[in-house]
């Protein structure tokens, strides 16, 4: 299987520069730095991969529109990118998606179709076929992976002696790109995936060195609603090639990390984005960077986590 | 009276670069960009001026230590800067200061002295004299003003055609530096100060073209605890020289702006930092930038504002 390369990621960085925020590294404590991707236009790193995927489409293909399915942040990212390119977007989201994500997606001008979680992928394929549009998958695509990998480039540029990078894992697009970039630039840096214990399918697969599917109902138990997907063969191949470990954190540690990010680092972070900090706090190591992947949290959920 | 110049501010930018975050501009909506200074190490822009003031001291003078008085964020900034330089810091804060600011100041290794609000300045002078240390004022000093002005340099570099810059006003150090930088680089850009109605002393002084003192008890009514100070002759001279207008916003608009910054821009912002957004929302104008000055808010206050 062909993996995304450093050259792919560098090319992506040039293409996406006009559409993304060059996020700074923020110091959390003596050992930890944060990469606050919630500051992106759609409130999550997903804009990097989505915009890159659209930028790579031939103009006449892109003009026929794009379709996306996602638990929310990818949908917003595709809607945002489509708006920038002036092309139509249709996004299929599970009907369990937080309202804030649905409204934000609509606010970017996309048509939103809410379906039962199990049907979202098939409905997206049907819609793309009927519209003549291009499906932009949330993680299972080299262009999406290369876009997310630009975070790794920025991270190593800003902190060249980084010893450990902690990355949330769901479908694996983020860690695939970040690990490809970081390992190419700094082979001694450890890249560690982090999952909720309640959606620890990739940690189990990593130990088994083969994809061990978990039922969607099991993965849906975690409060980290952005981490309920599972890797594809493509992303898992990147994990096996580049990632040093995949660890898990309990739900109460995720909530605690959300609170600390709010009041110590002044960031509104969704539970999925707080998972790497939870791993760091359980086992602090020097010169560590945590990718705080996004900040799209329902106000009610956020207030409950802070209280 | 000698005002701070663009050259002073450029020199400050070079000196403070190792200690501050180069904050990105974040798009809020079609017309507005945010400069999120809550991402600084101490959670507020104050680190710029405080670090610059310490950097400018002769080494032997700096070694004898520094003393600061402030409503909180300046105290943290001086403590942080002193820690970076390895010199002792004593900070005098009013005993009404939010706990989060007091604890954060102590966490940087400073000695914190809590006194009744009316005594903080006199006690700080006494302490400096008895310790042989240097008093670093929160705003009434050219080095502090030049440090805060570096925000203006970054803002014009990132958004060269900015039409309006909205800046919170308390003692006036921030708007003095920002206006000096912005007006030198982009004379057509409007620089507008924003205050809470309940602490609108500078707006009144601006209309009168002379400092009209408000009783401290009046200024203390606003929830924006960082905006309860009043300008000095030095900062007010900068305001008269460079600022186009000073406007005020009501308390409920400040709370609404805190909520929007949390859930639309994923930033934890203290009421003082939300005041410029409140002014923008009351009267949106194109190509506007708002300086979101800080994020040190007590958790209980923050939860009350979000609920």
The domain spans of chain A are 6-40+141-306, 48-135
Q: Do A267 and B269 touch (CB under 8 A)?
A: no
Tell me, what DSSP letter sits at residue A88? -
**Residue carrying structure tokens 């009783």:** B215
Catalytic residues of A: 46, 71
Tens of pLDDT along A101-124? 788 788 889 999 999 988 988 999
Q: Do A24 and B22 touch (CB under 8 A)?
A: yes
**Please, what is the average pLDDT of chain B?**
95
Of B74 and B104, the structure prediction assigns the larger pLDDT to B74
Mutation pick from A30, A80, A266 vs chain B, by most beta carbons of B within 10 Å, is A266
- What is the rounded CA–CA span in Å between residue B267 and residue B273? 10
B61 burial class (0-12, 13-18, 19+ CB within 10 angstroms)?
A: middle
**Fold for the domain defined by B6-44+141-306:** Rossmann fold (3.40.50)
Please state the φ and ψ torsions of residue B195, each to the nearest 5 degrees.
-130, 160
pLDDT at residue B88, rounded to an integer? 97
pLDDT at residue B8, rounded to an integer? 98
Q: Kindly state the average pLDDT of the residues A91-101.
A: 83
Local confidence band at A180 (pLDDT 50, 70, 90 cut-offs): very high
**Taking a C-beta distance cutoff of 8 angstroms, is the pair B136, B54 a contact?**
yes
Tens of pLDDT along B88-144? 999 998 888 778 778 878 888 999 999 998 898 899 999 999 999 999 999 999 999
Q: Do A41 and B27 touch (CB under 8 A)?
A: yes
Helices (H), chain B: 6-16, 46-56, 59-63, 73-85, 99-107, 120-131, 142-158, 173-185, 201-208, 216-219, 233-242, 251-263, 271-282, 299-306
Tens of pLDDT along B177-203? 999 999 999 999 999 999 999 999 999
Q: Which string of b and e fits A42-80 if b means at least 16 CB within 10 Å? A: bbbbbbbbbbbbbbbbeeeebeebbbbbbbbbbbbbbbb
This model of the complex carries an ipTM of 0.94
**Res B173 pLDDT > 70:** yes
**Taking a C-beta distance cutoff of 8 angstroms, is the pair A97, A91 a contact?**
no
Strand order in the sheet with A89-94: A111-115, A89-94, A66-69, A134-135
Its CATH architecture, for the domain B48-135, is 3-Layer(aba) Sandwich (3.40)
Helices (H), B115-270: 120-131, 142-158, 173-185, 201-208, 216-219, 233-242, 251-263
Catalytic residues of B: 46, 71
Tens of pLDDT along A39-89? 999 999 999 999 999 999 999 999 999 999 876 789 889 999 999 999 999
Tens of pLDDT along A126-137? 999 999 999 999
A chain contacts of residue B255, beta-carbon cutoff 8 Å: none
A chain contacts of residue B262, beta-carbon cutoff 8 Å: 268, 299, 302
pLDDT at residue B117, rounded to an integer? 83
B chain contacts of residue A98, beta-carbon cutoff 8 Å: none
Closest CA to B68 of B130, B121, B109, B145: B121
Of B22, B266, B296, the CB nearest to A43: B266
**Taking a C-beta distance cutoff of 8 angstroms, is the pair A25, A121 a contact?**
no
**Residue carrying structure tokens 């001026």:** B49
Pairing of strands B32-36, B26-27: antiparallel
Say if B6-44+141-306 and B48-135 have the same CATH topology: yes
CA-only gyration radius of chain B, Å: 18
Q: Kindly state the average pLDDT of the residues B51-58.
A: 98
Query: Vertex A303, ends A299 and A307: CA angle to 5°?
Result: 175
B181 token code pair = 């930088």
**Residue carrying structure tokens 């002036």:** A86
pLDDT at residue A297, rounded to an integer? 93
pLDDT at residue B71, rounded to an integer? 61
**Fold for the domain defined by A6-40+141-306:** Rossmann fold (3.40.50)
Tens of pLDDT along B231-286? 999 999 999 999 999 999 999 999 999 999 999 999 999 999 999 999 999 999 99
In this structure, the dihedral spanned by the alpha carbons of residues A18, A166, A158 and B149, taken in order and rounded to 10 degrees, is 80
Q: Do B268 and A269 touch (CB under 8 A)?
A: no
**Res B170 pLDDT > 90:** yes
Tens of pLDDT along A139-179? 999 999 999 999 999 999 999 999 999 999 999 999 999 99
Of A22, A266, A296, the CB nearest to B267: A266
> Of all helices (H) and strands (E), which one includes residue A196?
strand A190-196
Please state the φ and ψ torsions of residue A186, each to the nearest 5 degrees.
-150, 80
In chain A, which residue's Cα lies nearest the Cα of B265? A39
């Amino acid at each position: 299987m062909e993996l995304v390369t450093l050259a792919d990621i560098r090319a992506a960085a040039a293409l996406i520069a006009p559409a993304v925020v060059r996020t700074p590294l923020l110091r959390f404590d003596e050992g930890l730095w944060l990469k606050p991707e919630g500051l992106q236009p759609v409130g999550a790193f997903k804009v990097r991969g989505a915009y890159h995927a659209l930028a790579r489409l031939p103009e006449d293909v892109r003009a026929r529109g794009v379709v996306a399915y996602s638990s929310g942040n990818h949908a917003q990212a595709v809607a945002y990118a489509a708006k920038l390119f002036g092309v139509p977007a249709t996004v299929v989201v599970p009907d369990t998606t937080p309202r804030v994500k649905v409204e934000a997606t609509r606010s970017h001008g996309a048509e939103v179709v809410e379906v039962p979680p199990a049907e979202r992928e098939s409905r997206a394929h049907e819609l793309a076929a009927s519209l003549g549009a291009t499906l932009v998958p949330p993680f299972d695509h080299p262009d999406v992976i290369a876009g997310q990998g630009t975070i790794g480039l920025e991270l190593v540029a800003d902190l060249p002696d980084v010893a450990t990078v902690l990355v949330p894992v769901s479908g694996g697009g983020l860690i695939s790109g970040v690990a490809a970039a970081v390992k190419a630039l700094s082979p001694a840096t450890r890249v560690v995936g982090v999952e909720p214990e309640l959606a620890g399918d990739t940690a189990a697969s990593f130990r088994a060195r083969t994809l061990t599917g978990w039922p969607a109902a099991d993965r849906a138990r975690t409060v980290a609603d952005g981490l309920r997907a599972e890797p594809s063969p493509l992303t898992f191949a990147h994990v096996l090639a580049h990632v040093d470990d995949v660890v898990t954190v309990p739900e109460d540690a995720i909530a605690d990390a959300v609170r600390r990010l709010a009041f110590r680092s002044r960031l509104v972070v969704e539970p999925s984005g707080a998972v790497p900090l939870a791993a760091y706090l359980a086992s602090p190591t020097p010169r560590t960077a945590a990718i705080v992947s996004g900040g799209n949290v329902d106000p009610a959920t956020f207030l409950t986590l802070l209280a």
